[in-house]
């Protein structure tokens, strides 16, 4: 038992029970269905913008890109234009790979001692974090996009096409969406990694576990509602459409599980800007990735340089000319 994950786990259970009991027992649908979601959206947008503007205000005096290939040099030395970009286009392509394919995570290595008498430290390629992260993020993206069907009327054809692709395995009724299962499985894998890998466990804090438990809770309640307990989906869309048209309604016959799902999503949104989840915005602002390595081609002047009083050689000579001539030292100007 480790309080670093017991506490967030208890917190997520508490959130679930709070909404479930609040709706089923006390009838607080308006609180968990209307007030909290609106507050969460405001907190998310405001917090996100505020956090990024705060980052934008910090000085970046130096070019500090991490270089992962040959930099631009002589014409006969082949430059790695993406891993060591010197142009804006190179940086753009590098950022695309970083954002959509998590390229730097792909290079992840692990260090371990050989289990023999040499006991030598060796580094090996560790791909599973990258695979898990990719599955998790794309699963989450598709799930989020699919949820737009509750928020848009009429539902665009592109969304229907996405649903068709996502449900292409056609198992069961209602048909299985692959993305939901990928999301839950990947989140569970990322959690297992934090709990069972001793080295990762050692550096994991409550703030690492909380979003994972929250997302697992969201995925689990969503899957439960779709495949097992079932909800009145027309009522749910009436509810969500009420929120986005600013005429909120509480549909009859939609139970506590749905409001538990909504509360956990709201908490995730509100928690987003003040947590590690802000890497979503931060990735665009990472100076080690988003800068061109052109320090040799271009002069970059420190933005907070102040004017320094310099004493040039001419002024020095003017000052000491007579004494210099007297001592027999060479001078540029005789008089």
Q: Which residues bind other proteins (CB under 8 A)?
A: 44-45, 48-49, 52-53, 56, 60, 148-155, 159-160, 163-164, 170, 172-175, 230-238, 241-242, 244-245, 247-249, 252-253, 281, 284-285
Say if CB 32 and CB 22 are below 8 A apart. yes
With CA atoms as reference, report the closest residue to 139 among 29, 83, 44, 216.
216
**Beta partners for 109?**
125
CB of 123 to other proteins, least distance (A): 35
Chain-centre distance of CA 63, in angstroms? 23
Q: How far is the CB of 331 from other proteins (least distance, A)?
A: 47
Output the smallest distance, CB 318 to other proteins, in A. Answer: 42
Task: Provide, rounded to whole angstroms, the least separation between the CB of residue 245 and other proteins.
Answer: 5
> What's the token pair of residue 63?
């070019």
Q: Which residue has the tokens 């786990």?
A: 9
**Structure tokens of 202?**
């050692």
* Burial of residue 329 (number of CB atoms within 10 Å: 0-12, 13-18, 19+): exposed
Quick one: tokens of 64?
């500090």
Read out DSSP for 206-274?
HHHHHHHHHHHHHHHHHHIIIIII---HHHHHHHHHHHHTT-----TT--HHHHHHHHHHHHHHHHGGG
Q: How far is the CB of 11 from other proteins (least distance, A)?
A: 25
Q: Is 32 helix (H, G, I), strand (E, B) or coil?
A: helix
Give the nearer residue to other proteins in terms of CB position, either 30 or 316.
30
The smaller minimum CB distance to other proteins, of residues 6 and 49, is found at 49
C-beta of 225 vs 267, nearer to other proteins: 225
Write down the least CB distance from residue 56 to other proteins, Å. Answer: 4
Q: Which CB atom, from 82 or from 285, has the smaller least distance to other proteins?
A: 285
For other proteins, the closer of residues 170 and 305 by Cβ is: 170
User: Whose Cβ is closer to other proteins: residue 80's or residue 87's?
Assistant: 87
Helix (H) or strand (E) holding 122: strand 121-125
């Amino acid at each position: 038992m480790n309080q670093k994950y017991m506490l967030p786990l208890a917190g997520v259970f508490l959130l679930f029970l709070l909404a479930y009991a609040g709706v089923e027992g006390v009838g607080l649908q308006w609180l968990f269905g209307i007030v909290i979601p609106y507050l969460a959206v405001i907190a998310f947008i405001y917090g996100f913008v505020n956090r990024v503007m705060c980052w934008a205000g910090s000085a970046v005096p130096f070019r500090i890109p991490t270089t992962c290939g040959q930099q631009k040099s002589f014409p006969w030395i082949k430059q790695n234009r993406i891993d060591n970009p010197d142009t804006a286009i190179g940086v753009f392509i590098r950022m695309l790979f970083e954002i959509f394919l998590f390229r730097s995570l792909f290079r992840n290595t692990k260090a371990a001692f050989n289990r023999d008498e040499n006991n030598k430290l060796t580094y090996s390629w560790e791909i599973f974090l990258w695979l898990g992260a990719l599955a998790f993020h794309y699963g989450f993206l598709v799930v989020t996009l699919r949820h737009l069907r509750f928020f848009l009327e009429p539902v665009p054809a592109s969304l229907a096409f996405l649903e068709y692709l996502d449900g292409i395995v056609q198992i069961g009724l209602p048909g299985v969406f692959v993305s939901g299962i990928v999301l839950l499985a990947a989140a569970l894998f990322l959690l297992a990694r934090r709990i069972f890998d001793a080295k990762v466990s050692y550096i994991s804090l409550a703030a690492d576990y909380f979003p994972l438990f929250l997302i697992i809770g969201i995925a689990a309640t969503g899957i439960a509602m779709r495949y097992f307990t079932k909800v009145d989906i027309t009522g749910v869309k009436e509810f969500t459409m009420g929120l986005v048209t600013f005429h909120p309604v509480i549909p009859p016959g939609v139970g506590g599980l749905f409001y538990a799902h909504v509360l956990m999503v709201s908490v995730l949104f509100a928690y987003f800007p003040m947590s590690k989840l802000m890497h979503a915005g931060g990735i665009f602002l990472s100076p080690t990735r988003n800068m061109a390595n052109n320090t040799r081609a271009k002069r970059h002047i420190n933005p907070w340089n102040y004017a320094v009083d310099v004493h040039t050689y001419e002024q020095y000579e003017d000052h000491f000319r007579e004494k210099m001539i007297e001592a027999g030292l060479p001078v540029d100007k005789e008089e």
